[in-house]
Structure 1
Amino acid sequence: MSAPAPSMRARVTRTDWDKLLTDGAIYLLALGGFYVGFKTLYSLALMVGYPTDEAMVVASLADIAILAYSRKAVREVKAGRSAWAIRLIVAAFSLGTFALQLRSAWPHPVSVGFHILPPAVWIIGHEMMLRGELRQAKKQLREHEIAQGLRPTPLPRLRRTWWLLDPYHTFTVWRLTKLWEQSPTFVILQEAARREHEGETIPRAWQGVLATGGQDEDEVRDRFIKALPPVPEKGSRTNQEIAAFITRATQLAGEFDIECTGKLLADILDCDPAQVSRIRTALREGKFKRLALTSA
């Protein structure tokens, strides 16, 4: 028996309105650029001797090619491939129409500005959208490979202030971290023990880690994230599922003795911090059932 179709309210709740509005605005800008480009290319085609019907086809080819190759590039990016060749083709067609529009407006400065604006806005917006899709696809692929054991779990990064204030010893820690494939805290503990045994001075940059007994905040945070239940899938999750996840995350944060901030939860859930704040407020007011998710 097939599952019942989701209600209209559920579909509205699961819709990523921010992404929908952003992509819609980009394609609205694209339509404006296409229209201006078509009118310019059509007039240029008539000027160089094309008949009316052929001039319309020639003027449409560039815009249709940009639209078709753009959609192909988006599909490739969603599959986890960079699609650089297709993106270069899109950029070439866009810059070609840009050059023709610039030529038709030259040398009047106001006319040049009006002809530059539409293709420039479209190219920048299209590239930003593709880069966002590419980052998301690579993130999902990386997480899948880590879960399958095909890629090691990323090690905690060294703080930028360490590189700024003590670059020499920070480079030593970074080098051994890569060679040993161990966390920076483990490397510092081992190197500090070796230096102490050999009578060498322990760098001041490492003394903060030694004073806390090697309990690095990044490592505690990583263990906390690993202990969390599976994150509800973005795009198909409801506020009730997010509320249950936040409830369980808050319980685990108390066990790990870390602060479960709204920003931390938003980073884990990959959503707007304002949404997390609204749901946490609703939880405090008893508008959601306080369901605790069991860890896997």
Structure 2
Amino acid sequence: MEGRNQTIVSKFILLGLSEQPEQDRILFYFFFFMYLISGLGNLLIILAIYSDPRLHTPMYFFLSNLSLVDICFISTTVPNMLNNYISRNKTIPYIGCLTQLFFFIWFSAMDIFLLTTMAYDRYVAICAPLHYSTVMTPNVCAVIVGVTWFWTCINALTHTILMTRLSFCGHNEIPHFFCDLSPLLKLACSDTFINDLMINTGGALTTFLPFIGILISYFHIFMAVLKIPSVSGKQKAFSTCGSHLTVVCLFYGTIIGVYFSPTSTHTAQQDIAATVMYTVVTPMLNPFIYSLRNKDMKGALRMLITRKPGFSL
């Protein structure tokens, strides 16, 4: 690499969503509002499930974990972006960038595996209702969630460690609002073959295999629902899956569009817009999707909000 600028990069510049400074204030209020709505909505979901004994079931246990992960997920990127808009300083230290990358990969993978687990939970509930209580026991649910947290952490740590072996020299501008894998790899001035290999193999294990699991679960659910004789029974079965399917389509649709479609079919602006959808918009919409279509959840939220001060959970 002779003749190339060998200045070692100690910080990166996040160019953000707009290169026009006059739009920073509008973007700040826009994302600050979405961050507050997301945090408050997901927190209410967790408190409602915790405070209502009727919701102490596997489905709502997984939903409470999903809400917790969504709070962590959106907190990985948005607060730093808001700080950049306030301070007008868009730099992020090298170690801060890798830290953000680690938590982003961790929580995004957690979202994926929890959505897969929730699909399996619905499959057992609809296709094998007599065995549901013996299959989805509290211990089994706790083990599933615990293993998921551990596995996704190891996956994120592996990507982050592999990133530390790369050299960054010369350009340090990231055309994004957070430190993501693809933009960072494009800035590296050393061989990224191992990193690319890990992304391709890890992407299959943490994205496509769970997605296939969701498709298989819903294929069996759909076939089982078709055998239900009454229309009301079919509607009830579909209503328990509708919210989850909506979230899956929203989350997976944008991820596949950003990371697994040919780069020639979309622009950088389209990638950023799709990334905003699954990193900010989806965590904000999840509480509304799960509560508005669920009578039990609406009842628990109503009880939580109208409860007199001084109650104990």
TM-score range, shorter chain: under 0.3
TM-score by length of 1: 0.25
Higher helix share: 2
**Higher gyration radius (CA):** 1
TM-score by length of 2: 0.24
Higher normalized contact order (CA 8 Å, seq sep 6+, divided by chain length)? 2
